[in-house]
Amino acid sequence: DAGITQSPRYKITETGRQVTLMCHQTWSHSYMFWYRQDLGHGLRLIYYSAAADITDKGEVPDGYVVSRSKTENFPLTLESATRSQTSVYFCASSDLAGGSGEQYFGPGTRLTVT
Amino acid sequence: KNEVEQSPQNLTAQEGEFITINCSYSVGISALHWLQQHPGGGIVSLFMLSSGKKKHGRLIATINIQEKHSSLHITASHPRDSAVYICAVSRNTGNQFYFGTGTSLTVIP
């Protein structure tokens, strides 16, 4: 299916485990983003990527790792999950730099760390 | 202090009412975005604007660059408009977006 997809949609994991959230887009957009959404904070940028093999930190990168070996995929890894990483995670993509283009959001992944 | 402030945080309206949601920002921007998030979580872009006014159906978005303020208006509101409306700005430097905390709108039949 065309568009931007995330998997899994729901995940429960234990403290200390490694978790990878997947994001896939079919538009060949250059820019991809990972956000987390928490009550009272709104959406906050974790990492973004301007192209394959180019990534940069956002506002809240600690405890997360990203990679982008292919334009269409942008996985987010929590190397050792903590309870504070319980959140809803959104992936987004855009075809233009900065705010020049719209961002298209995936459906989100609800992660619970116990 | 957040770069983007929205008001009100919560809003309840009767079907048919005219609704206004406000957004103020404190940084230089290249564009301002209004997003809609329905129960169930999906986020869609409603408007992207850098000046003036845009209209799409019953939704109107305006921006005043000098005052660093934007408004989202909904005319003839309907229960299906019930959602969280999020204001976001993209700074004129870098590739980052900054988001308001959202306005939760409930339209009662």
Searching chain A, which residue's CA lies closest to the CA of residue B35? A103
Q: Tell me the average pLDDT across A72-86.
A: 97
Across the interface, of B30, B89, B96, the residue whose CB is closest to A45 is B96
Percent of chain A residues past pLDDT 90, beyond the cut:
79
Name the average pLDDT for chain A: 92
Q: pLDDT category, A100, cuts 50, 70, 90?
A: low
Distance CA B29, CA B3 (A): 11
Beta strand residue intervals within chain A, DSSP E: 4-7, 10-13, 19-25, 31-38, 42-51, 54-57, 64-66, 76-78, 87-94, 104-105, 109-113
**Weakly modelled stretches of chain B, pLDDT under 70:** 1, 94-95
Q: Could you tell me which residue, A75 or A52, shows the higher pLDDT?
A: A75
**Per-residue confidence (pLDDT) for residue A37, from 0 to 100:** 94
User: Which of A50, A97, A102 has the CB atom closest to B48's CB atom?
Assistant: A102
What would the mean pLDDT of A2-7 be, rounded to a whole number? 91
Is B90 close to A45, i.e. CB distance below 8 A?
no
Pick from B43, B88, B90: CB nearest A98: B90
What is the predicted pLDDT for the residue at A97? 65
Question: Could you tell me how many CB contacts below 8 A there are between chain A and chain B?
Answer: 66
Instruction: List the single best residue of A5, A38, A43 to mutate versus B (max B Cβ within 10 A).
Output: A43
